[in-house]
Chain A
Amino acid sequence: MKCTRCRAKAEVELRAHNAGFCRPCYLFYFRRQVERAIAAERMFTHDERLLVAVSGGKDSLALWDVLAECGYATTGLYLGLGIGAYSARSHEKALKFAEQRELELRVVTLEEEGPGLAIPDVAAATRRVPCSACGTMKRHFFDTAALAGGFEVLVTGHNLDDEAARLMGNVLRWQRDHLARQRPVLPATHPKFVRKVKPLYLISEYETAVYAFMRGIDYIVEECPNAVGATQLLYKDVLNRLEHASPGTKQAFVQEFFRSGQPAFAAVENEEPQVCGQCGMPAYGTLCSFCRLVRQVEARRSPPGAAAPA
């Protein structure tokens, strides 16, 4: 197979785009895709300070690499989830990446943020699925780190497959509030929220992995142990089967949702956030979901009546 741009031997084939690329042309193509998404959705400018959430995985490190290459003012944020060897190794990868490129990396670890806040402990104490507790933790600490650091934008590495799987999950249960809030750019809806953007939202997981490989990025290949059996993986598998039978399906699913479906949901579900009575961050209800989770953890750690046994 030949490169679509220069006719040299192709190293990668992208069925959804009906294209093949040699290495230099692929790197050019990938950066252009990211830059186009940033421009088309007006995600951010070169004058804004970006906080990039990095997990040590291929997507976030590939994204940080592109943004730094393109001259954006980036700072990385690594959130240590306390998931044993997996967290230790992913932390290492993020640190090494930042050091090699002389980029600033901030580190927040759940264990140090409070007793019993590591993901396995929260999941055990609240009997919630680890990924659900993890999502709440990530949102809270990304928000507070962005606010505390005075950043204008929080950037995450969610890719096309993540967005398609999430959309499928939201559609299967017709979660209108979630559908209303799923978009590539979430404007700051409250003075304590910063804008949240996903520059890789139309770029597949395969494409980010190829970019990371070609750029020699040392990312964590192993999976988080909690991903095994996660519904998101099932959705991704179903979507990849559809994609195989009909290339371009995932992109059409996500792109058309953002173009025509999402605005319809947003029009009817525009609840304004209030303020959390505990931490002061924006909340839907009297407490934000993070503080509700912490309450549950605390209740389990000191059950009522434990101090005064009968």
Chain B
Amino acid sequence: MRVHLHPQRRTVEVQGRRRVGQLLTELGILPGTAMVIRGEFLLTEGEVLEDVDEVEIRAVISGGTG
């Protein structure tokens, strides 16, 4: 499956079906710090992804103390 990472603007290919939570762990992303988006919808951690899927992982943390 194809995984687009934002705001890094990086795309990675991951082989084999797995749960969203597992994908996040493999990519070293803490759940709750990024949204996993497939098309128009968000996915919860238990959702299963297939090889044909294309998802966006969008970080939600912004920084700076202003």
Contacts and interface: CB of A to CB of B under 8 A. Distances in A.
B65 A232 contact: yes
B37 interface: yes
Contacts of A221: 6-7, 58-59
Interface size class of B (residues with CB under 8 A): 20 to 34
A12 B37 CA distance: 11
A58 B62 CA distance: 9
A236 B63 contact: yes
Given A221-B7, A243-B32, A244-B32, A20 B61 contact: no
B66 interface: yes
Nearest to A222: B7
A206 B60 contact: yes
Contacts of B32: 15, 204, 206, 240, 243-244
Interface of B: 6-7, 30-33, 35, 37, 41-46, 58-66
Contacts of B65: 131-132, 135, 165-166, 169, 230-232
Contacts of B41: 11
A279 interface: no
A208 B43 CA distance: 16
Interface string A200-223: 000011101110011000000111
For the complex of A and B, 10 pairs with smallest distance between CB atoms: A227-B63, A233-B63, A209-B60, A227-B64, A13-B44, A134-B66, A222-B7, A232-B65, A131-B64, A230-B63
A205 B60 CA distance: 6
Given A12-B44, A134-B66, A237-B61, 14 more contacts: A10-B44, A11-B44, A131-B65, A138-B66, A166-B65, A206-B60, A208-B60, A213-B35, A224-B62, A227-B62, A228-B63, A230-B63, A230-B65, A233-B63
A13 B61 contact: no
A1 interface: yes
Residue in A165, A221, A224, A244 with the greatest tally of chain B CB atoms within 10 Å: A221
Interface of A: 1, 10-13, 15, 20, 57-59, 131-132, 134-135, 138, 161, 165-166, 169, 204-206, 208-210, 213-214, 221-224, 226-228, 230-233, 236-237, 240-241, 243-244
Given A20-B44, A166-B65, A241 B30 contact: yes
Contact of A206 (B33, B37, B63): B33
A240 B30 contact: yes
5 contacts: A11-B42, A59-B62, A161-B61, A223-B63, A228-B63
B22 to A, nearest CB: 15
Interface SS, A side: helix
A209 B46 CA distance: 20
Contacts of B37: 213
B64 A236 contact: no
B42 A12 contact: yes
Nearest to B37: A213
Given A240-B32, A244-B32, A209 B63 contact: no
Q: Which of B6, B43, B63, B66 has the most CB of A within 10 A?
A: B66
B44 A244 contact: no
B64 A226 contact: yes
